[in-house]
Structure 1
Amino acid sequence: MTERNQVETSHEPRSPLIGGSVALIAASMLTVMAGATISPALPKMAEHFSGVENAGFLVKLVVTITALSIAISAPVLGWLNDRFSRALVLKLSVILYAIAGSAGLWIDDLAVLMVSRSILGVAVAGAMTASTALISEWFTGERRSRMFGLQAAASGLGGAAFLSLGGALADISWNAAFAVYLLSLPVAVLVAWKVTDPPSLPTSKTAHQSLPSPKATGLIAGIVVLAFVIQIVFYVVPTQLPFLLGTMDVDASTTGLVIGWMVLVQALASLGYRWVSRLGFRNVALLSMVLMSAGMATVGTSESIAQVVAGLSISALGVGLVMPNLNSWISVSTSSANRAQAIGALISAMFLGQFASPLIAEMIIRGGGTAQAFLAAAVLALVTAGAVFAISTSKIRQSTSRKKAKDS
């Protein structure tokens, strides 16, 4: 059996009508930049709460606490998805997203605001696990690859749009940026109207009866670790690029355009994943890590903004391919009964990687400067690519040995 179908033995239900597909993609758009949407408002927020002790530090936590909450709650939400209705989890999560996300419009207490951001993280975790699991159930083969490519592209473009809109609203007032989260209300209506569970989805009574084999468990663990490393590498860009470009006397608006270009390249790469996926999951992962390494090395050694843009474009190609690849890979490597739990672990690893990336980068920067953080990310990506290659080679040798033994 090929790598793409060796574990997948679940049903192949009739795919939902276009409305259901659009609803799942729209729900995915809400999630990726959920925490960073209000980043442009942080300076005004810090000024507003200046009377609170350690206000500057606490205001930054308003963003990061959402990512930490996602990382902690995603495995739990995955477990709930596998034992109850995934469509119901998605519907409730999108509604909670709108309430908790927009809470800053009427909350004027920093501690209460942080609680609402933690709740937002739970809503994001629920929406991400449920939407990804539902795509995994409703679609198979190349159609699934296409949907995951669309999901990754929409997430990137939606995140960029929300971040830009949040910046525009932040010019009005610190809490106006929270209005962006109200865009989830029409999505909630669409999800409630169009999204349903597949007819043969396992029930809570049977979900515990289908456990992954030790081999599948090892593969899932490897995918989860890979996701963690990828986010450590990738998140060097949004957290450190403005500082690197600052050393080149690049202004904030140009920095925004550069990041916007990277998001566009990433989205285009994701749209092309359905064709690249024919290479197989491990090969796509290897290609992605090599591209990310080359791109980060180019940025880290750049002496002009043109070289930075070139490096980011190369890296964005890798990121755009690897994100839908991880979702597809873990979907094929699990059964319907336990798929959402594995997706929850994947999402948790991704956000833990985002949380860890600036901490690791800061230690490197103190020793050698911002450019060194990009070079370190390039080395980490290359080492990971080498590990993926070594594992792939080992798998091929084992398969060849078993075939020879069988033939003899």
Structure 2
Amino acid sequence: MKQRPTSGDTSPLQSAPVDAPQSRHSGVLVVLLLASTLAVMAGSVVSPVIEVIRGDLGLSGTAGGMVIAAHAAVIAVTSPLIGRLIDRWGMRLPLTLGLIVYGVAGGAGLLTSTYATLIASRIVFGLGAAAVFAGTTVAMLQMFSGPERDRVMGWRSSANSVGGLLWPLLGGLLGGLSWHGPFALYLVGLPMGLVALWALPRTPPPAAERGRIGLGALFRQSPTLVGFYLLQATASVFLYATVVFLPQRLADLGIHQPVAVSLYSVVTTAAVGSLAGLSYARLRSKLSYGALLRLSALAWTGAFLVLGTVEHSWLLLVGPALLGVGQGLSLPTLTVLINDRAPAESRGQAASLSGTVIFGGQFISPLLLGPLIGATSSTTGFLVTAVFGALLTVGLLLLRISPPGK
């Protein structure tokens, strides 16, 4: 995947971090890392109470599922618009407004008592979540550079993994009081929004560059972005393949307890993914971005090979662990590659499109694997996924992924 350097590589968006001490950003980095976990918690925090909501409001399974999934569709559809706003205004205002909308619309679930109002709030909530996802990504990429950026991207991957573990746990604890309780966690967006408004630097793009490149021109100028987005979508499909279908595989092995199921499907992946993220900067100092992507694909392949063949319950834990390795390495690698391949004046759009493909991948994952597993078995579905992972690994071995800026 070779790409010539773009004319925007010397934009202030890229050079600003070099001129300022990285320590200036240490305080706001904590806020950005916390904010980056909010996209992870967007649906998972209410998942422990979805059955209670269904019973209380008299909902069908599909209607109940929309309480969790509605925001993902909104993020996928609106992310390109959010990206254009970031390119036009800079990341400070869209991220601040996104955090506030996230807190207000998400917290509205504390007061809603009908399905219509709950879904309406979740749709508005999706707008805030889209701005938070794109805004935190752009902010981290703008404020840090070089090895420091690799370290921050690894921390972000770890924060997402830990958030994927802790936020649902807190949601379950509050859900023991009332199904409205988990929605209180979304209110954390309000103080984060105020801190972001105060702490984030004012770095809007130069007026001559604002909104200059559309999506079509973006892909024509940087065609390798298509491949990186496809890899992001694939990673998302792989992750949700385990979230949705691993419980069925565990049931076939006689594992039914919710705590045990969560250990396999969430805890192990999150824990190992967090460790991979913490190790990312060290690995990046020794390995190229291409090598890290090949390791990710190899880990994904191994994960689904284990899930499709192993019959011993404890050995099955190796599958989610390998998946965590793949997720922990691929997320920061692809984020950096997409940012550096995009023209400087369109990096907001490029980052926001990651939201479209990631959340779109979550949505289509059960649609791709569900019919196959329904017609055969979970083991067959996982083995077919392993074959796809193996083909992906071979493809990445044959391709040369040039370093950023080449």
SS in 2 for 1:167: helix
Structure 2 matches for 1:7-406, cutoff 5 A?
A: 8-10=9-11, 11-13=14-16, 14=20, 15=22, 16-50=24-58, 55-198=60-203, 201-209=204-212, 216-250=221-255, 251-258=257-264, 259-278=266-285, 279-392=287-400
Gaps of 5+ in 2: none
With over 3 angstroms needed to count, the CA separation of the structure-2 counterparts of 1:46 and 1:12, relative to structure 1, is: same
RMSD (Å) for aligned C-alpha atoms: 2.3
Deviations 1:316-346 (A, max 9, x none): 1111100111111111112321001011112
SS in 2 for 1:174: coil
- Name the aligned partner's letter for residue 364 of structure 2: A
The answer to whether the Cα contact below 8 Å between 2:2 and 2:400 also exists between their aligned partners in 1 is: no
Q: Which residue number in structure 2 is paired with residue 404 of structure 1?
A: none
SS in 2 for 1:197: coil
The answer to whether the Cα contact below 8 Å between 1:5 and 1:332 also exists between their aligned partners in 2 is: no
Q: Which residue number in structure 2 is paired with residue 405 of structure 1?
A: none
In structure 2, what is the Cα distance between the partners aligned to 1:3 and 1:139? 24
In structure 1, what is the Cα distance between the partners aligned to 2:367 and 2:382? 14
The answer to whether the Cα contact below 8 Å between 1:4 and 1:280 also exists between their aligned partners in 2 is: no
Question: Per-residue deviation at 1:5?
Answer: 10
In structure 2, what is the Cα distance between the partners aligned to 1:307 and 1:168? 30
With over 3 angstroms needed to count, the CA separation of the structure-2 counterparts of 1:195 and 1:243, relative to structure 1, is: same
In structure 1, what is the Cα distance between the partners aligned to 2:115 and 2:219? 46
Deviations 1:199-241 (A, max 9, x none): xx41354224468776752111111111112211221111112
The answer to whether the Cα contact below 8 Å between 2:104 and 2:190 also exists between their aligned partners in 1 is: no
- TM normalised by structure 1 equals 0.90
In structure 2, what is the Cα distance between the partners aligned to 1:244 and 1:320? 24
The answer to whether the Cα contact below 8 Å between 1:223 and 1:326 also exists between their aligned partners in 2 is: yes
Number of aligned residue pairs: give it.
390
SS in 1 for 2:42: coil
The answer to whether the Cα contact below 8 Å between 1:74 and 1:344 also exists between their aligned partners in 2 is: yes
With over 3 angstroms needed to count, the CA separation of the structure-2 counterparts of 1:91 and 1:214, relative to structure 1, is: closer
Deviations 1:34-79 (A, max 9, x none): 11210111111011111xxx53321111111111111111111011
- Name the aligned partner's letter for residue 295 of structure 1: A
Deviations 1:268-301 (A, max 9, x none): 1011111222422222111101111111111111
In structure 1, what is the Cα distance between the partners aligned to 2:80 and 2:48? 30
In structure 2, what is the Cα distance between the partners aligned to 1:370 and 1:181? 34
Gaps of 5+ in 1: 400-408
Which stretches of structure 1, 4 residues or longer, exceed 3 Å deviation after superposition? Answer: 2-11, 208-216
Deviations 1:82-119 (A, max 9, x none): 01131111111001101111111101110121111111
The answer to whether the Cα contact below 8 Å between 1:3 and 1:280 also exists between their aligned partners in 2 is: no
Which has the higher mean CA deviation after the structures are superposed, 230-239 or 89-98? 230-239
Deviations 1:114-166 (A, max 9, x none): 11111111111101111111111111111111111111111121121111111
Question: Per-residue deviation at 1:184?
Answer: 2.5
In structure 1, what is the Cα distance between the partners aligned to 2:85 and 2:387? 38
Which has the higher mean CA deviation after the structures are superposed, 249-258 or 203-212? 203-212
Q: Which residue number in structure 2 is paired with residue 402 of structure 1?
A: none
Question: Per-residue deviation at 1:374?
Answer: 1.8
Q: Identity across aligned pairs (percent)?
A: 26
Q: Which residue number in structure 2 is paired with residue 406 of structure 1?
A: none
- TM normalised by structure 2 equals 0.90
